[in-house]
Structure 1
């Protein structure tokens, strides 16, 4: 009797559910966040035209206020996902993001738009680390290098679609639709997430939100960015700018000191005892500045030097980000066996070569196929090698309970770097008349930061133990 019933029981045992539907639900939300940021790079000119009384430095805060708050909120959001349930925090973040997107599109003033962007940043911060931790938890250890790279490739695809789609949307129906387009995508992710995702077990100890640490980080990054973007403004004296910069430096020092003494700090400094984690975040900071400068500077070049329309500029940038996707997938497969270091060092050196190409080859006369497209191939390949690998390398050796917080620290580092990159670009190119020679300093910094990324990546070791 017993032996006869065993096969029947075994036959009714369901096969393990595939993790890929979970991956796609979580990745759609990550796609949404990345799409929004890249669309606004292409929509910057339209936003300035929509608010003609605002300067380029003023409008940069539509980008930077979002990014500063996003960076400061990412880390506690990772802790909230671990403590209160990843599904709950993920769905809350998606809901807040799409509600704030609607408010952005309806904003009637620069101040109202910036305020809505801050709210949007909170939603994005809640959903991003929860999204990655949901993906990490759904897959076994031996597939995580690939899945994290794919998760990064989804963001790369958004970067490819964002400029072209954003340029087309802004030129045909106006800048508010750069925000309204988030609504159907967010609604799809919210609906599927509520039905498909399973709630994670909450952590035994719930972390408090480090309000002091968040405030110090926001002041530090915001003040440094303000000092950079306003450094050439006649509305600010040198003394005032020096005070603002000093305030940023003091707040940054206070943030580090606070993190070393607080019971539950915003950033757990013990995470940086992992050498690969420390090196990956330092490389992320250097590369993130260069990436934002290159991406944002592209639209200044197309509009002011080659005089491309918004739609044409959006299409012109698409090949570079599209290359990111297959390169990231291939890199993810190989990194599981070889580790991330060879792809990071090689990719960063290739990125420096891309910066050298853009500095030396394109001129004032448009010649897209011969002068610009090869540079896009170089930069797209290098970004596919580096950016997803940095995200994966940062968390690959962390304990499972630190996935969300560790990934949030890495994402926050990238966002802080983007603030600095946007601020430098506005400083160098945000004045009234932009010429070809103005881009030499931008690409010189690009090359230097890429070489620094390569040097820092040499300290990253994520090879499987048996192959070291």
Structure 2
């Protein structure tokens, strides 16, 4: 099919749109799904490989847990910081062009991640991968919006959402099997053929459409200040705790981050075309739903990767077993989210946006009863007999994962519908983009606080259990890291004490997660009204990942 503008039909408003669904439009939809899928996939299956990455890669200037946190939090920080700007770039320079740049960049950074010789290099590569991912998320949605109209657009977004749910279900187990069979680098290399397919589909089927007229200017300064604020505060706090505040650099980072944090709202008020229009937050519903989004999603993302580290690094689960234990969360999202959305439309979203986080908090709190000697599941893809879980799986992690998964499934659709019904139709896209960015920005900041809590609790418990240990010793912090198996050279006494100390530290982290969820439920209970939400605009869905 010819993708020139002349071959397209026009809507009543005169905007170029595509005609009936064809193989070409299906190809464009496939490209859009691949673009968002690889970003979502890398935000989940990396959690499964963190323990193996920490054991396999040497460190140069950072600690093991520090590097593991950077791998997750750094990706989220740059992804969140550049999401809004990426959408504007697509509108100005063409959605296909920016989408292609994002695909190629994501493929290149995936290879860089897989070939990383140290944890330090991998953490830096993940920062770049987050920037590339930011170019793909709004581009994927924009391609669907430009390619389909009316009922077909709604159907296309339904296919996109179903694909996201399938990735949530099958991505982590596949990732766990890849780690078991081919090593941690395989979870990054698996992106390469997907990127190549996406590039081919995009070149062949995605039209070079852009907005009819670009309005306003890019707020480069706002995006940069936001990135500095999140990065300075998060990485400054994490690095400072790692080196026991013995270096000046973390204090400088914290200072710069704090200045940027104060400067950001001032800039938004004074800029002609601000990255985040302040007037949108004068709507109490819009403000409340975004505050609760930051709290709830920070808890979600932090628990997902810390839970993976605890299962593997402390209890001794294999990557595949860890992924299978987390499977109920994806299943709950796929089976319950749509049903919760329908009920929220009939009875109001407030009860779901309060009850969902409370159920998540209950699930998180179940981890408090999981002991350090819980029997691990040693599932391996090459051994069918090992796929039968021990009884401890059903008693210890599974109830926590089930309750947490059902809770987040209660939240996603009602949160989206409440968000979209709180703004005028012409601002639906911007509202979705802001909420998408905020759903990720809380994780790096929460990770910094939790890193400080975990390391402080871990080394204090270790020193109390083994007399004579200096918890601030650089050598000790190199050989023994929280939520990771210690170097065997430290001896049995320290190894056993480290396991108990890691469990104690993980339990402390769970309490912070539960507090974030309770706070999110409290915000929704206090500031959301019981009015029934309207259906969200199908052209601007919010992401669950």
Say yes or no: TM over 0.5: yes
Distance 1:254 1:15 in 2: 47
| Among candidates 25, 33, 37, match of residue 31 of structure 1 | 37
Please say if 1:416 is aligned against 2:441: yes
Distance 1:15 1:222 in 2: 45
Distance 2:166 2:446 in 1: 21
Q: CA deviation at 1:237?
A: 3.1
Which residue in the other structure is 1:121 paired with? Answer: 130
| Among candidates 256, 272, 278, match of residue 263 of structure 1 | 272
Q: CA deviation at 1:423?
A: 2.9
Q: Summarize the Cα distance change of 1:236–1:319 in structure 2 as closer, same or farther, 3 Å threshold.
A: same
Which residue in the other structure is 2:364 paired with? Answer: 355
Q: CA deviation at 1:75?
A: 0.9
Q: CA deviation at 1:171?
A: 2.8
Note if contact 1:149-1:329 (Cα within 8 Å) is conserved in structure 2. Answer: no
Distance 2:270 2:398 in 1: 50
Which residue in the other structure is 1:9 paired with? Answer: none
Query: What RMSD in Å do the two structures reach over aligned CA positions?
Result: 3.2
Partner of 1:463: helix, strand, or coil? coil
Q: CA deviation at 1:69?
A: 1.5
Within a 5 Å distance, the mapping from 1:54-69 to structure 2 comes to 54-55=62-63, 56-69=65-78
Distance 1:247 1:232 in 2: 17
Which residue in the other structure is 2:180 paired with? Answer: 171
Q: Deviations over 1:62-110 (max 9, x none)?
A: 3333222211110111222333443443333223212221222233344
Which residue in the other structure is 2:332 paired with? Answer: 323
Q: CA deviation at 1:312?
A: 2.0
| Among candidates 285, 288, 299, match of residue 276 of structure 1 | 285
Q: Deviations over 1:402-442 (max 9, x none)?
A: 44433222121122112123334443446343432222221
Which residue in the other structure is 1:17 paired with? Answer: 21
Distance 1:438 1:109 in 2: 26
Distance 1:109 1:218 in 2: 24
Which residue in the other structure is 2:402 paired with? Answer: 377
Q: Deviations over 1:241-274 (max 9, x none)?
A: 5554333222111111111101222222223233
Q: Summarize the Cα distance change of 1:245–1:434 in structure 2 as closer, same or farther, 3 Å threshold.
A: farther
| Among candidates 280, 305, 314, match of residue 305 of structure 1 | 314
Normalized per residue, the structure richer in helix is: 1
Note if contact 1:42-1:167 (Cα within 8 Å) is conserved in structure 2. Answer: yes
Of residues 166-175 and 190-199 in structure 1, the stretch that sits farther from structure 2 once superposed is 190-199
Which residue in the other structure is 1:450 paired with? Answer: 517
Q: Summarize the Cα distance change of 1:442–1:156 in structure 2 as closer, same or farther, 3 Å threshold.
A: farther
Q: CA deviation at 1:353?
A: 1.6
Q: CA deviation at 1:136?
A: 5.5
Please say if 1:47 is aligned against 2:53: yes
Of residues 388-397 and 345-354 in structure 1, the stretch that sits farther from structure 2 once superposed is 388-397
Note if contact 1:147-1:332 (Cα within 8 Å) is conserved in structure 2. Answer: no
TM-score w.r.t. structure 1 length?
0.85
Which residue in the other structure is 1:72 paired with? Answer: 81
Distance 1:287 1:249 in 2: 23
Q: Summarize the Cα distance change of 1:258–1:287 in structure 2 as closer, same or farther, 3 Å threshold.
A: same
Which protein has greater RCO, CA pairs closer than 8 Å, 6+ apart?
1
Q: Summarize the Cα distance change of 1:234–1:465 in structure 2 as closer, same or farther, 3 Å threshold.
A: closer
Distance 2:422 2:281 in 1: 12
| Among candidates 171, 187, 191, match of residue 200 of structure 2 | 191
Q: Summarize the Cα distance change of 1:377–1:81 in structure 2 as closer, same or farther, 3 Å threshold.
A: same
Which residue in the other structure is 1:132 paired with? Answer: 141
Partner of 2:532: helix, strand, or coil? coil
TM-score w.r.t. structure 2 length?
0.74
Partner of 1:232: helix, strand, or coil? helix
Q: Structure 1 stretches of 5 or more lacking a match?
A: 1-13
Of residues 373-382 and 59-68 in structure 1, the stretch that sits farther from structure 2 once superposed is 59-68
Note if contact 1:133-1:403 (Cα within 8 Å) is conserved in structure 2. Answer: no
